[in-house]
Chain A
Amino acid sequence: MTWEVVIGLEIHAQLNTNTKIFSGSSIAYGAEPNTQANLLDLGMPGQLPVLNKAVLPKAIRFGLAVGATIGRKSVFDRKNYFYPDLPKGYQTSQFSYPIVDKGGFLEIEVDGEIKKIGITRAHLEEDAGKSVHDAFPGQTGIDLNRAGTPLLEIVSEPDMRSAQEAVAYARKMHELVQYLGICDGNMQEGSFRVDSNVSIHKPGTPFGTRAELKNINSFKFIEQAIEFEIARQIEILESGGKVVQETRLYDSEKNETRSMRAKEEANDYRYFPCPDLLPVVVTDEDIEAIRAEMPELPSAKRARYVFEFGLSDYDASFLTGSRAMAEYFEAVVSHSKDAKMSANWVMGELSKSLNQQGIDINESPVSAEALAGLLARIQDNTISGKIAKQVFDAMWNQEGSADEIIAAKGLKQITDSSAIEALVDEVLAANAAQVEAYRNGQDKMFGYFVGQVMKVSQGQANPGQVNEILKRKLS
C-alpha cells in the first residue's frame, strides 16, 4: 500500500481595516519601527482593549461566503506564551467560540476533478510584532508596528491529499478574500500567510504525526515545500524512523524544510476568556444586513458571464480570476455593450501589456473607460481592429485618448466608397497577372488583393467595404 498524504491549512488573512483590532493605531504597511506602536500595542500597564467595529462584518462576510455557521456569541480568549514580539505575554484570539463556526467549505478543481475542502472555523485574533535578527550584533530588535493588526485565521479540515490540492485551495482562498474585500491579499507584505500541516499515513490507519510549515509567501514555494516535506516524511518512515511534531521553515534557495522549534513541550497556552473583553453578540438583523451587502462571488460571476454574456468557460474563468479583473471587464462591457469584444481586448492586448510590464490591472495606464472609448471607435467603423491595436499601444504609452490619437495620427478609416473604388482599381490595374489567375479559379488570390488595397490605403480603408467592392469588380 502506498502512503496517503494528509494536509490541512491555516491561513492568516490580514483584514483591511484602518486601525488595529483593539487600538486606534494605524496598520499602514512600511512605517518606521514602533511609530505605529502605541500604549495598548506596547502592552503598557493599565491599558485596555476595545474591539474595532470594522472587523466583525468582514469576518461574517467570509463566513457567509463559505456557508459556515456564524457564531452568535463569540468570545475572545487569551493564548498565553512569552515571546518578545508578543508585548502582553498573551495573544488575544478566539478559542472556544469563534466568530465563524463549523459548516463552511470551499470547492477546488484539480485535474478536472471538483473536490470539497471543509473549513473547520475562522476566528479573529491580533497579529504579533516583528523580530529583526540581523541589525544589532548579538541582539534582536523588536518592532511592534504590526502587533495588534487584525487577522482572520481560517482553519481547514485535513481534507487535502496532495500539494496540488493544497495550493489550489490556498489560491481559491486568496481569490475569495480579495473578492470579499476583506483582505488585500498581498503575500509579499504578509497580508495573506499560509501555514501547512503535513502528515502521511497508510489509508485505513490513523493520521500520522504532522509537521507545520510556516509563513511561506508564494504559492510556488508552498507547493515545493509540501512536496519536499512529503518526501522527507516518507523517507523517515520507510527507514523505520519517526516523524516529530514540530514547526519547520522552508528555505526556498535550497528547496528544503528545516526544523524551527519542537512544539510538544511549550504547547500549554492556558487559554481562558479575556476578562477585559465581553462576549461579541451578532443578531439575525446584523447577519441579514451583511448578506444584503455581499459582493457577487467568483463562482456566481463565472456562471453569469457564461449565461448572460455568452462567454466560454475559459474566458469566464480568466476574467473572474481576480475581483479587480472582473470589475475592469464589467466596466468595459457597461460602455461597449459587447461582451465578447470586450473580453477579447481585456484578455488580449490589455493582459499582454500588463504581463509584459509585470503590473496589476488596477495599475493599468489604460483605464476601463479609456479602453471602452477605443472599442467605440471600432464599433462605429472609425478605425479597423488592426489600427485599434496601434492606437492601444499609443494609449498604453500615455499619448492620449483613443480619439486624440486617431486624430493626431490621421488613422481615421476611409469609408468613402468612391475613394476605395479608386484604390481597388489602382491595385487591379497594377496586378493584371494575378487578376487573370484569380479569374482562372485561384480563389485564394482574393486575400492577396485585399491585402494590397489595405497596404496602399495604409491600413485605413474599411475592410468590409474593400471586400465588397473587390467582389463586385472581380465578378
Chain B
Amino acid sequence: MSIGKDDVNKISRLAAISVSEQEVDQVADKLSNILDLFAQMQAVNTDGIEPMSHPLDQVQRLREDVITENNHRDKYQKIAPSAEGGMYLVPQVIE
C-alpha cells in the first residue's frame, strides 16, 4: 500500500498540519513504509472477534450534577496567545 501526493494533501487537511511541496514526497514515502508495517494485519483472520476499545471491563462512572468549578478566567487567559475583553481571539471567521 503506498500513499501518493493527493493522499498526503488530504491527510494534511484533516490533521491541520501543513506539508510543503518540498516535503510531500518524503512524507508520502515514510507514511507508505508505515502502511507496509500495517499490511501484515490484513492476513490475520479476525472473524468473530469483538473489537477492543479499552483494557478495562469497567463501565462509565457518573458525577453528581453539582457546580464544582469557579471562575478563573484571568488565570487561564494569562497563557492565551491572544485574548481581549474576556474572549479568545482568532483571525476573522467568515460564515
* A binding-site residues for B, Cβ under 8 Å: 17-19, 23-26, 32-39, 42, 44, 50-54, 56, 75, 80, 82, 84, 131-133, 135-136, 138-144, 249, 260-261, 268, 270, 273, 275, 277-281
Q: With an 8 A cutoff between CB atoms, is B78 at the interface? A: no
Beyond A24-B68, A135-B85, A136-B87, 10 extra complex contacts between A and B, CB < 8 Å? A18-B66, A25-B67, A34-B77, A36-B69, A50-B62, A75-B53, A139-B89, A140-B90, A140-B92, A260-B95
Q: List 15 A-B contacts (CB under 8 A).
A: A18-B65, A35-B71, A35-B86, A36-B71, A51-B60, A52-B62, A53-B62, A132-B87, A133-B95, A140-B91, A140-B92, A140-B93, A141-B85, A277-B60, A278-B61
- The contact of B90 among A84, A249, A275, by CB within 8 Å, is A84
Q: With an 8 A cutoff between CB atoms, is B16 at the interface? A: yes
Q: With an 8 A cutoff between CB atoms, is B64 at the interface? A: yes
B63 / chain A contacts, CB cutoff of 8 Å:
24, 50-53
Q: With an 8 A cutoff between CB atoms, is B76 at the interface? A: yes
**Are B88 and A141 in contact (CB-based, < 8 A)?**
yes
Q: With an 8 A cutoff between CB atoms, is B46 at the interface? A: no
- The contact of A141 among B14, B53, B65, B84, by CB within 8 Å, is B84
- The contact of A33 among B65, B72, B82, B86, by CB within 8 Å, is B86
Count A/B pairs, Cβ under 8 Å.
Answer: 123
Per the bound structure, the CA–CA distance linking A25 and B62 in Å amounts to 15
**Are A35 and B73 in contact (CB-based, < 8 A)?**
yes
**Are B91 and A139 in contact (CB-based, < 8 A)?**
yes
The closest CB in chain A to the CB of B59 belongs to: A281
Main secondary structure of the interface of B (DSSP, over half): loop
**Are A278 and B59 in contact (CB-based, < 8 A)?**
yes
The closest CB in chain A to the CB of B51 belongs to: A273
**Are B54 and A278 in contact (CB-based, < 8 A)?**
yes
A268 / chain B contacts, CB cutoff of 8 Å:
14
A19 / chain B contacts, CB cutoff of 8 Å:
65-68
The closest CB in chain A to the CB of B82 belongs to: A139
The closest CB in chain A to the CB of B86 belongs to: A33
**Are B72 and A38 in contact (CB-based, < 8 A)?**
yes
A162 to chain B, nearest CB (A): 29
Per the bound structure, the CA–CA distance linking A56 and B59 in Å amounts to 14
Q: With an 8 A cutoff between CB atoms, is B56 at the interface? A: yes
B90 / chain A contacts, CB cutoff of 8 Å:
84, 139-140, 142
Q: With an 8 A cutoff between CB atoms, is B45 at the interface? A: no
A132 / chain B contacts, CB cutoff of 8 Å:
87
B93 / chain A contacts, CB cutoff of 8 Å:
84, 131, 133, 140
List CB contacts (< 8 Å) of B19-71 with chain A.
53-54, 56, 58-71
B76 / chain A contacts, CB cutoff of 8 Å:
34, 37-39, 42, 44
A365 to chain B, nearest CB (A): 32
Per the bound structure, the CA–CA distance linking A39 and B70 in Å amounts to 10
Most buried by B among A136, A143, A268: A136
